Structure 1
Amino acid sequence: MGTQVSKQVVRRKAISTEKKSLCDLHQNCGEEYPGSDYRPPDRKNWMSGLDPHKIHINKIVWPGTHDSATNKIGIPLITRPFAQCQSLSIYNQLARGARVIDIRVQEDRRVCHGILVTYGIDVVIRDIKKFLSETQSEIIILEIRTEFGHEDPPEFDKYLVDQLGEFLIHQDDRVFEMTVAELLPKRVICVWKPRKSPHPKAGDPLWSSGYLKDNWIDTDLPSTKFESNIKHLSEQQPVSARKFFYRVENTVTPQADNPVLCVRPVTGRIHGYARLFIVQCFSRGYSDRLQILSTDFIDADFVDACVGLTHARIQGKA
């Protein structure tokens, strides 16, 4: 018992130290970078606002959500706080400005997060279609994977093509150098990551897993995650040279050996430092590698941080 208490004291001290480290860095470095003062007049249509003829796909800084379809996961007030990473529906995330959606499914086409389940994938598809029907020039990256420990839903690739076929941008390396306007009226890059089923191939309506990469670090220590994100980003090529999307997730996650297991207070340790992360990318020389930045509990300022840098790139200022 004493050993366990001692471990918890050490853990709490480490968390406190790392929170202070990020806070101090923030105070010293601020939040100014090219485009940091830009605010899109309409977040629901921010790509339209930047001019689809000028936005190249590989120059966009894509605001994304982590575990996107968890707004109604589990049982309210009982299991939900341990797995909920977003409080908004998929439609409302897109309307707020998110453009990369992270969906995990199980065998029966229900969305899940670990052992907890929520609504079926049809709800996600319906929300996406509603958003697409209300906008004209917004491109979405939809990542769907079979959750770890589960089997692939039968014929799921066929289902996705049947549901989204008219909107799907086919797998093609040339897409990265194209503008939004050149891709229209197609609107969705759908990355399908099955565990055992055949993966999409070149020219298919769906994109294979190699086109959306990240380096997930499972920790609840905010400075450790922040610096790991910087390190892994530094190892990537500039966006102009890549033929895949690379994601950095501005999140930390609860750990079983720590008494704080609810997502919101844990991820809150890093949530407010997205702009600081962009500042550090510039100061360390890696800003040309930043592409997808994802978060838990997406908010307007996070979207503005990404759109602002995208605007600066279009203007030739970043």
Structure 2
Amino acid sequence: MSSSSPSNSNDSGKKNPLDAMGAFFSAQVNRRKLVSTQKLAMSERCTSCGDEFPGCAHRPADRKTWMAELGPDRLRVHQVVWPGTHDSATNKIGIPFITRPFAQCQSLSVYHQLALGCRLLDVRVQEERRVCHGVLATYSVDVVLDDVLRFLAETVSEVLVLEIRTEFGREDPPDFAKYLVERLGEHLIPQDEAVFGKTVAELLPRRVICVWKPRKSPAPGRGEPLWSSGYLRDNWIDTDLPETKYDSNLKFLGQQPPARDRRYLYRVENTVTPQADNPVVCVRPVTNRIRGYARSFIAEAFAKGLGDRLQVFSTDFIDGDFVDACAGVTKARVDGAA
């Protein structure tokens, strides 16, 4: 009598659900191992390379006015390392403790980010003029603009970049360019490549470079109050692996010309983002895999001869030390030390 071995499929040719479940858990274990390996590699790498770079010891007397402290008549736009925030207006997105942890990238309001020293905001909107991140929406974009206007009223020579874009999968808000000009009018720096070579003093009293990135609406043109998407570029890779993102940031930064020769802003984002194939899907624990290595990234960029390429440096959950690092490199450039 012949014997048969157990089959991985049933008689109809369908896969055994237990096999599929086993493959899923195996993949999860391998992903967790890869994350752990990269976290360890980042820790060892950044310990060895240190965090010394031109201006690293600088601490602004008041982060709210750190640009003014460097001298509006000395500081040129291309010299600024702009401390930015990723998904800036998500402090109140979603339902607390339920959906918020999956989409919140900042815990501070836009005003408090600016007061802390942030100088570039990343705001995503949908057709109803509400801020959103993916499928979740939060307050009206009016809240963002009110915070920006409050900050401008309380300072004299701080310049900021406001990037507003229609979120992927959403429709452009109707007449949104006109709305932005009406709200920010007298503060807007018109689209002009000559701006990058000017000092802050030459721009005043205008202090906002507003980059509008619609999905279908016409893009702003030269001389208009708003700037088109080509003036704020990056090379985003969507990953939750910290060393993968860190190396990608260095690679693409190295492909850019020096900031003084560019007629656009180039952004590096010190962030990693949750992935659907990984069990950890809340933003904060994932982004913390890379968030603490901002100074190490700047140090390694200088060590590799890329320090003059740094321009926009963004993060989730911005803090004062991140701002100080960006302000320090900016000061070193103004002083001729970088």
TM-score band w.r.t. shorter chain: over 0.9
Deviation at 1:240, TM superposition (A): 1.2
Which of 208, 224, 229 is equivalent to 1:204?
224
Q: Percent same amino acid at aligned positions?
A: 66
Matches within 5 A, 1:100-119: 100-119=120-139
Deviation at 1:113, TM superposition (A): 0.3
2:36 paired with 1:7: no
For residues 184-214 of structure 1, give each alpha carbon's deviation from its aligned partner in whole angstroms, at most 9, with x where no partner exists: 0001000000000000000000000000000
2:155 paired with 1:132: no
1:174 paired residue number? 194
Deviation at 1:235, TM superposition (A): 0.5
3-state DSSP of counterpart to 2:172 = coil
Which of 251, 259, 262 is equivalent to 1:242?
262
Matches within 5 A, 1:38-49: 38-49=58-69
For residues 56-111 of structure 1, give each alpha carbon's deviation from its aligned partner in whole angstroms, at most 9, with x where no partner exists: 00010000000000000011110000000000000000000000000000000000
3-state DSSP of counterpart to 1:293 = strand
1:18 paired residue number? 38
3-state DSSP of counterpart to 1:108 = coil
Deviation at 1:268, TM superposition (A): 0.2
Matches within 5 A, 1:267-278: 267-278=287-298
3-state DSSP of counterpart to 2:180 = helix
CA RMSD of aligned residues (A): 0.5
Matches within 5 A, 1:117-156: 117-156=137-176
Distance in 2 (alpha carbons) for counterparts of 1:69 and 1:105: 10
Distance in 2 (alpha carbons) for counterparts of 1:152 and 1:164: 19
Distance in 1 (alpha carbons) for counterparts of 2:29 and 2:126: 38
Deviation at 1:266, TM superposition (A): 0.1
2:52 paired residue number? 32
Distance in 1 (alpha carbons) for counterparts of 2:238 and 2:270: 12
1:81 paired residue number? 101
Matches within 5 A, 1:207-246: 207-246=227-266
Q: What is the letter of the counterpart of residue 195 of structure 1?
A: R
3-state DSSP of counterpart to 2:240 = coil
Which of 67, 70, 74 is equivalent to 2:90?
70
1:91 paired residue number? 111
3-state DSSP of counterpart to 2:238 = coil
Distance in 1 (alpha carbons) for counterparts of 2:152 and 2:202: 17
Distance in 2 (alpha carbons) for counterparts of 1:308 and 1:104: 29
Q: What is the letter of the counterpart of residue 152 of structure 2?
A: L
Deviation at 1:5, TM superposition (A): 1.1
- When Rg is computed on C-alpha atoms for both structures, the one with the higher figure is 2
Q: Please, which runs of 5 or more residues in structure 1 have no aligned partner?
A: none
3-state DSSP of counterpart to 2:162 = strand
Which of 303, 319, 332 is equivalent to 1:283?
303
Which of 195, 208, 227 is equivalent to 1:188?
208
Distance in 2 (alpha carbons) for counterparts of 1:159 and 1:33: 42
2:334 paired with 1:310: no
For residues 156-190 of structure 1, give each alpha carbon's deviation from its aligned partner in whole angstroms, at most 9, with x where no partner exists: 00000000001000000000000001000001000
Q: Please, which runs of 5 or more residues in structure 2 have no aligned partner?
A: 1-20
Deviation at 1:2, TM superposition (A): 1.1
3-state DSSP of counterpart to 2:271 = coil
3-state DSSP of counterpart to 1:119 = strand
Q: What is the letter of the counterpart of residue 321 of structure 2?
A: D
More off after superposition, 29-38 vs 80-89: 29-38
Q: What is the letter of the counterpart of residue 222 of structure 1?
A: P
Q: What is the letter of the counterpart of residue 204 of structure 2?
A: L
For residues 261-292 of structure 1, give each alpha carbon's deviation from its aligned partner in whole angstroms, at most 9, with x where no partner exists: 00000000000000000011111111111100
Q: What is the letter of the counterpart of residue 40 of structure 2?
A: K
More off after superposition, 119-128 vs 19-28: 19-28
Deviation at 1:306, TM superposition (A): 0.3
3-state DSSP of counterpart to 2:131 = strand
Deviation at 1:256, TM superposition (A): 0.2
Deviation at 1:26, TM superposition (A): 1.3
